[in-house]
């Protein structure tokens, strides 16, 4: 898994399908603004709306991840692909995401490092499920763990670099927070709003990069399997 090759492929994919990726960002932000407005006008309901918003946020992410994965594989995407999270697979998709988050959270309670290791180990579950929807949730987790064996350090370095890039991307927007705090219907939500807008702009690019990481690892694994019989014959 060569970082440079992944960067080049992601850049080529972005240039080739930039309009689709911008459309994904636009779709994500529109849906977020709708629910953001609902959150503000129903803030007395507090935790209930926040919970529903978090579930909806996960559903949006599922659609974005799926669409970016198709772009990385040079497949055509349809507008309906963004709504895969609302399809009949919603129960399994949500279960995968919730289990993933809880496993990482529980490992993180023990120590920070095991939590990070487990998060990386299960980082490919969505891509595995999208390619093999017949697998059970536990099988997706197990296959992701096996797939990432030997790649955790490299993946961590790449994720760290992407985090730095996101911070550099969002820093200029932070200065806008104080300015929009004066808008009467935003108020205390200014920081969350700015961060979310930046996230939805960056999120498709980030997931395109992650999809290419998955494709690169699967390719490496396939090459390893092809080399093993040759080594046995040579022996």
- Over the stretch 26-48, which tens digit does the pLDDT of each residue have? 777 777 677 666 666 666 555 66
More confident residue, 212 or 56: 212
Task: Output DSSP code: residue 44.
Answer: G
Among 73-82, 98-107, 138-147, the minimum mean pLDDT is found in 98-107
Q: What is the mean pLDDT of residues 89-99?
A: 73
More confident residue, 53 or 185: 53
Q: What is the mean pLDDT of residues 49-69?
A: 77
pLDDT-derived band at 203 (thresholds 50, 70, 90) equals confident
Percent of the chain with pLDDT over 70: 69
57 by Cβ neighbours in 10 Å (0-12 / 13-18 / 19+) ranks as middle
Asked if the model's pLDDT at residue 62 lies above 70, the reply is yes
More confident residue, 114 or 150: 150
pLDDT the model gives residue 167: 78
pLDDT the model gives residue 228: 58
pLDDT-derived band at 184 (thresholds 50, 70, 90) equals very low
Asked if the model's pLDDT at residue 92 lies above 50, the reply is yes
Distance CA(160)–CA(149), nearest Å, equals 19
Q: What is the mean pLDDT of residues 52-72?
A: 80
DSSP-derived secondary structure for 58-86: HHHHHHHHHHHHHHHTT----GGGGGGGG
pLDDT the model gives residue 214: 92
Among 3-12, 68-77, 145-154, the minimum mean pLDDT is found in 3-12
Dihedral sign (CA 19, 25, 31, 33): negative
147 by Cβ neighbours in 10 Å (0-12 / 13-18 / 19+) ranks as buried
pLDDT-derived band at 60 (thresholds 50, 70, 90) equals confident
pLDDT the model gives residue 27: 76
């Amino acid at each position: 898994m060569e970082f440079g090759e992944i960067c080049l492929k992601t850049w080529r994919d972005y240039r080739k399908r930039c309009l689709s990726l911008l459309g994904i960002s636009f779709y994500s932000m529109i849906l977020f603004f709708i629910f953001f407005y609902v959150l503000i006008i129903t803030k007395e309901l507090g935790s209930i709306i926040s919970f529903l918003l978090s579930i909806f946020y996960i559903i949006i992410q599922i659609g974005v991840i799926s669409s970016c994965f198709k772009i990385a594989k040079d497949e055509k995407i349809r507008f309906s692909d963004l709504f895969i999270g609302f399809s009949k697979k919603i129960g399994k998709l949500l279960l995968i995401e919730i289990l993933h988050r809880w496993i990482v959270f529980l490992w993180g309670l023990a120590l920070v490092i095991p939590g990070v290791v487990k998060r990386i180990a299960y980082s490919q579950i969505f891509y595995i499920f999208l390619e093999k929807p017949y697998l059970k949730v536990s099988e997706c987790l197990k296959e992701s763990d096996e797939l990432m064996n030997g790649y955790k350090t490299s993946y961590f370095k790449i994720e760290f670099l992407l985090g730095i890039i996101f911070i550099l991307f969002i820093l200029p927007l932070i200065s806008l927070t104080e300015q929009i705090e004066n808008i009467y219907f935003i108020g205390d939500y200014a920081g969350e709003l700015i961060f979310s807008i930046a996230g939805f702009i960056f999120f498709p690019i980030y997931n395109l990069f992650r999809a290419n990481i998955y494709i690169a690892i699967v390719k490496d694994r396939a090459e390893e399997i092809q080399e093993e019989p040759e080594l046995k014959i040579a022996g």
